[in-house]
Structure 1
């Protein structure tokens, strides 16, 4: 399960990008494509028992939307069928005072399609309780960093002197947009509470439980700007702006005439640099501002690892000597950004960002090494002081990629790990008669599949669950992860596949078995392979579902359709419809048969073509 902090961060981008589910069919408002999306911040939020859950979304070619909400046990909590008016639907309900804690699922559907899209939220006794400190108050300022606790009603806030600002904003996908806002300057409110000179930390808490911490310096004392030429990646014409508690605003627009009070009060503030990502820190439905004198902690500096150009595995670097073509990977806390330089300069907010996107890992490119290099890097994040600058110096030892590296990879790899493909692909001697020869050669040339030795691929050999998970992680170019303690009882952190299994689990490509087991050395069955490949497609942005009739249409072509496990039916059907996996000669799907290495290469090639046809050419 993903860390709660990351889940919360994902919520804020729902209002920036309408990642819609595209489906076709009849029985709707017209014969066009069907789109449905939840745009309210009920998704991925934390509520407390008794809290109100408001839902708002957009729909295209639907007259009404079906909404069902289930708790973690799958029991129905709420259902309704709101009408779609001018492309928008709304609904809401109040959680019971005794509502069970855990993950809840919102399922959106329409007409004969009961499930078009799913969203998650959480219920916790420490969720988003309403502040009862002052009757009618919508905003309270407290903490030992102010002289007194003060509360404001909405009428009191609206009666204050207000300012209008346009803010340039970058989301953490990343994406650029503008926000037009009108509200009370944050400093004005803090002055009314008597902010003390020794105040060092400010925490903003929304009524839905969303929380962001800032140091006083980073939010109030460092200059922040509006960049009118953000879309052109230019700092020309930048203007200083002050943080506002917005009472009116419009997102993704700079037209004040389009503002509304939706989700207000909202914290809005400018950027310190053109690429600084700030949107997820715009706390909506702001309820409490807590100012403290607590000294801010400091972020840990980034760490580094070297990826060998031949084995594509992490390499030891005695004396800082690395091969030409090696890649430098910088790692750190997922909540922060890593800024770095390679020209000897000290990194700052104008420097390159290594981990530019949390959501699209392929945008986070390792640093390719062709010559001797010095990398200076530091960690920057909200609510703590920047890390110290660390320096990594590497010298190229002159060894070209592929030069005696394959022998070393085969000799030293852990038991069960495949040998790496090198150069433009290995000329395997045992695939000439294989039906998947072209697929194997294609994937080998791209270093996505590997041989069992330097010259053999063993296409008929079975593939384990760990090996197939590693293939998918490699194909998606996901960074290796770290398993939580006890996440899988049978996966040791020292195993060669541990990082890939962690990454696959993080992206929900794998879920494991009851009791906390993954069974890494068990052979992957064809239905398991289909399920994993379909989940990987979802992780890559291919959010598709099938109606009951559509699912049966895909599965009915197989003579052994009844042998497919119920839990795998939809994933198998989706993989079949996408052309990623096919039946066997004779008309069977053979869901419980172990997949072999030839099948895995062919399926992986089709998968890459499906998620990105242009890149697969």
Structure 2
């Protein structure tokens, strides 16, 4: 009887060990939740390739190497407006694009910077837009209130979270170019590039955006008729206009606030002799020349 009890005890112990191993295996495979993108950063090192005749030489840089650059780390809240248009907040940690390009050997004569994502999306910027223009976080972006603006940096972010104002909520994700707003009305989210894989820098002159055109043509018009502003790159540019004779700037009326809600892009109603002045702005080129269109009531 003692021998039988001994073997029973051994069997129970072995059974418990086997059950424990099974539970351990399933627990490892299914337990815990990894935030979106975080697993990707633990299994592969993010790499960005630097190409183009605007650099001293072509090279590559890993995220680890970017993080080792002196005075390059930057984290902050960001305000943004998309092409719907909706105003949002975002928190991000990353590396200053200015320091990254300095380390990559950008030339003084470089003028164009093209950032490419792995999914094929890309966005171009002039040197002035990406590296020299002061850019800000606007806490009052939803009210278009600019008085509390805070200076921030364009970055290659490795941790971020949209619709949040708490830096503690930023989570690891694919490298993303974050372009802050230059002014409180600027639509900037379409200039973000996710999963950055290449930065192409050239000495080519980016040129200016073409001027906006109008329909009907300038000249005589009936009172109450309307004028449409037109541009062949309507989805890439924003057209700012004035009717009071002043030069259109960042505070002028935006003609095309939405890419997805065309009903928001309202024609200009003409009720008296009017001069429409319009300037075209957009990433990748310099602002257009100012165009003037004069209408006289019949």
Q: Work out whether the TM-score is over 0.5.
A: yes
Please tell me whether residue 178 in structure 1 is matched to residue 79 in structure 2. Answer: no
The equivalent residue for 1:216 is: 127
Aligned to 1:233: 144
**Equivalent in the alignment of 1:165:** 76
Secondary structure of the residue aligned to 2:194 is coil
What are the equivalent positions in structure 2 for 1:193-592 lying under 5 Å apart? 193-262=104-173, 264-306=174-216, 320-332=219-231, 333-334=233-234, 335-397=236-298
Distance in 1 separating the partners of 2:61 and 2:161? 23
Shift of 1:148: 2.1
Structure 2: stretches of 5+ with no match in the other structure: 1-31, 38-43
Alignment correspondent of 2:22: none
Q: Which residue of 1 aligns with 2:55?
A: 146
Residue 159 (structure 1) shift: 4.0
Q: Is the Cα–Cα contact under 8 Å of residues 241 and 269 in structure 1 kept in the other structure?
A: no
How far apart in 1 are the matches of 2:187 and 2:241?
16
Distance 1:89 1:300 in 2: 41
Deviation at 1:137, TM superposition (A): 5.4
Q: 1:89, 1:292 → 2: CA distance?
A: 34
What is the aligned residue count?
256
Contact 1:140 1:151 in 2 (8 A): yes
Q: d(CA) in 1 for partners of 2:131 and 2:45?
A: 28
Which string of whole-angstrom CA distances, capped at 9 and with x for unpartnered residues, describes residues 432-488 of structure 1?
xxxxxxxxxxxxxxxxxxxxxxxxxxxxxxxxxxxxxxxxxxxxxxxxxxxxxxxxx
Superposed CA deviations along residues 106-147 of structure 1, whole A, max 9, x for unmatched, are xxxxxxxxxxxxxxxxxxxxxxxxxxxxx9551122211111
Contact 2:55/2:104, CA 8 A, preserved across alignment:
yes
Q: Do 2:76 and 2:167's aligned partners in 1 also have CA atoms closer than 8 Å?
A: no
In 1, Cα distance between the equivalents of 2:187 and 2:36?
Answer: 30
The 2-side partners of 1:327 and 1:164 are apart by 46
Contact 2:90 2:161 in 1 (8 A): yes
Offset, 1:273 = 1.4
Separation of aligned partners in 1, 2:95 and 2:46: 16
- Between the aligned partners of 2:228 and 2:123, the Cα distance in structure 1 is 28
Q: Structure 1 339/243 Cα, relative in aligned 2: closer, same or farther at 3 Å? A: same
TM-score (norm 2): 0.81
- Rounded to whole Å, the distance in 2 between the matches of 1:383 and 1:139 is 20
Which structure 2 residues correspond to residues 11-50 of structure 1 after superposition, within 5 A?
Answer: none
1:150 offset after TM fit, Å? 2.6
Give the C-alpha shift of residue 350 in structure 1: 2.0
Contact 1:207 1:286 in 2 (8 A): yes
Q: CA RMSD in A?
A: 2.2
Please state whether the residue corresponding to 2:190 is helix, strand or coil: helix
TM-score by length of 1: 0.40
Higher relative contact order (CA 8 A, sep 6+): 2
TM-superposed deviation, 1:164: 0.7
- Structure 1 match to 2:26: none
Q: Aligned-pair distance for 1:212? A: 0.5
Deviation at residue 297 of structure 1 after TM alignment? 2.1
What's the CA shift string for 1:30-89, capped at 9, x where partnerless? xxxxxxxxxxxxxxxxxxxxxxxxxxxxxxxxxxxxxxxxxxxxxxxxxxxxxxx99x99
1:387 and 1:229 map into 2 onto residues whose CA distance is 29
SS at match of 2:249: coil
Supply the distance in 2 between the matched residues of 1:225 and 1:328 (Cα, whole angstroms). Answer: 34
How far off is 1:272 after superposition? Answer: 1.4
Equivalent position SS for 2:83 = coil
Q: Which has the higher strand share?
A: 2
CA contact (8 A) 1:158 1:247 kept: no
